[in-house]
Amino acid sequence: MSAVGKTFAPVTYAVGREKVREYARAVGETNPLYFDPDSARAAGHRDVVAPPMFATVYTSPAISPAFADPEVGMDFARMVHGAQEFAWGPLVVAGDEITTEVEVADISERGGVGFYVFESRSDSQDGERVCTGTWTCVVRRG
């Protein structure tokens, strides 16, 4: 039975101000919108803004079970990151609660190499799609 189309239970991530700041520091960001609530509010946001790639933080708790699911059958020890694409919607800010659902979009094999494609869909507490991600994992066989 193929796991293509399998959807995993949604996971909600509460975006914290300090987590946004820590992430921004870790990736070398300097934009005050990512650190200073007053600057963020002056720019029209409720709180500090998460850098776009913060999506990897709030999607990780949702996609990890998909990677390890026995029905998917991905050998994580032989997996390498193949590709990652994101389409962003409204900005994520501290205080948001982001719910992410993950689906197995495709599983295929070419030249003895497995390709596992997952789609993540992340929505804010207001029901707005803040990010759609496509994650491609490549798994060496044998």
CATH code of residue 68: 3.10.129.10
- Residue with token string 């495709």: 106
Q: Examine residue 28 and state whether it is found in any structural domain, yes or no.
A: yes
Residue-by-residue pLDDT tens, the chain, 142 positions: 589 999 999 999 999 999 999 999 999 999 999 999 999 999 999 999 999 999 999 999 999 999 999 999 999 889 999 999 999 999 999 999 999 999 999 999 999 899 999 999 999 999 999 999 999 999 988 6
Residue range(s) defining the domain that contains residue 19: 11-140
Say how far apart CA 82 and CA 107 lie, in whole Å: 13
Q: Examine residue 131 and state whether it is found in any structural domain, yes or no.
A: yes
Per the structure, the count of domains in the chain is 1
**What pTM did the predictor assign?**
0.92
